[in-house]
Amino acid sequence: MSETWDAVIIGGSAAGLSAALLLGRARRRVLVVDAGAPRNRFAEHMHGVLGWEGESPADLLRRARADVANYDVTIQEGRATSVDADDETVTVRLNDGATVTGRTLIAASGLTDEMPDIPGVAQRWGTTVLHCPYCHGWEVREQRLGVLGLSPMSLHQAQLIRQWTDDLTLFTAGAGEVAPELRARLESRGVKLIDTPVAEVLGDGAALSGVRLADGSVIELDALFAGLPPRPNDGFLTDLALDRVDNPMGNFLAVDDFGKTSHPLVWAVGNVVNPAATVPMAIGAAAMTGGMVNMALVTREFDAATV
């Protein structure tokens, strides 16, 4: 008979390891299942992480793995493919056909940024094609920046990124119709709007020199921001029919302030439910989720003892 873990955590990046650390320190037996593909793996450096400013995301994960190794936390390579649950346990099937069982489940499986079909975007993602100005804006401040319009959210992204440069161009083709009042608002602070579609991102290697438009003209840039459509990595939870919610970024699992889903044994935290969560946000939220999972287990144990 297979063992039952106090908590099974799907995802071993910042959120998953943060929850694992707190649960491990609460004397819980924890299994972390990690596919080895964190969202920020394309970036050489991370920013806005207190005490880790400018350090490598890979170094943070190595240190975090060493931290959780001091407790009853096991990290197993794998990818969750499906989940079954009853009133007492959650069973996770992995991509190799094996199953693991936990008294609780935390989905910290992150998301996938969906690349547009524009040559040159994918190869520069995380270096000179960027998504988060709080993560990368300082490094490209006061340079020639662009915003690749991919949804109506790009119109708001352009207003934000204007804080980092006076030389900003918004390529609107994928952002939908720009209302005259919004166009005037952007132009009032010097944002240049170009409606011709972007056909290609140009540059040498990871460096970016500009974009070529569909009409053949070239706009010179030093970096390009692109709010790529986020796809949460939560397909393995489909069979549980958990409640979901639509927001301006897409469709995500519905959770409370502590990461609790509509199933009493399942929590979700980090980018899988919040695409805007940076590394420190994910770490903090997951620590809270870990604490709530431990409290749920404490309550169950006292309930069982007093029956």
**pTM greater than 0.85 (yes/no):** yes
Give the rounded percent of residues in the chain with a pLDDT score beyond 70. 99
Contact of 231 with 271, CB cutoff 8 Å: no
Cβ neighbour number for residue 206 with a 10 Å cutoff? 14
Cβ neighbour number for residue 66 with a 10 Å cutoff? 9
- Please determine, for residue 127, whether its predicted confidence score (pLDDT) is greater than 50: yes
Query: Which residues, 6+ apart, have CB-to-CB distance to 204 below 8 Å?
Result: none
* DSSP β-bridge partners for residue 85: 90
Give the type of residue at 35. A
Query: What confidence tens digit (pLDDT) does each residue in 255-283 have?
Result: 999 999 999 999 999 999 999 999 999 99
Token digits for 77?
């390579």
Query: What confidence tens digit (pLDDT) does each residue in 148-196 have?
Result: 999 999 999 999 999 999 999 999 998 888 999 999 999 999 999 999 9
Q: Look at strands 198-202 and 210-213 and give their pairing.
A: antiparallel
1 pLDDT band (50/70/90 cuts)? very low
Helix (H) or strand (E) holding 134: helix 133-136
Taking the C-alpha atoms of residue 6 and residue 307, their distance in angstroms, rounded to an integer, is: 21
Higher confidence at residue 228 or residue 289? Answer: 289
Exposed / middle / buried, residue 197 (Cβ in 10 Å: 0-12, 13-18, 19+): middle
Element counts in the chain: helices (H) and strands (E): 6, 21
Contact of 159 with 225, CB cutoff 8 Å: no
Domain ranges of the chain: 5-113+229-306, 129-226
Taking the C-alpha atoms of residue 8 and residue 49, their distance in angstroms, rounded to an integer, is: 26
Helix (H) or strand (E) holding 161: helix 153-161
- Which pLDDT score, from 0 to 100, does residue 307 have? 74
Taking the C-alpha atoms of residue 131 and residue 110, their distance in angstroms, rounded to an integer, is: 15
Helix (H, G, I), strand (E, B) or coil at 122: helix
Please state, rounded to an integer, the average pLDDT across all residues of the chain: 96
The matching CATH number, chosen from 3.90.79.10, 3.50.50.60, 1.10.260.40, 3.40.1350.10, for 129-226 is 3.50.50.60
Give the rounded percent of residues in the chain with a pLDDT score beyond 90. 92
Domain covering 5-113+229-306 in this structure, CATH number: 3.50.50.60
207 pLDDT band (50/70/90 cuts)? very high
Least confident of 37-51, 107-121, 189-203, 217-231: 37-51
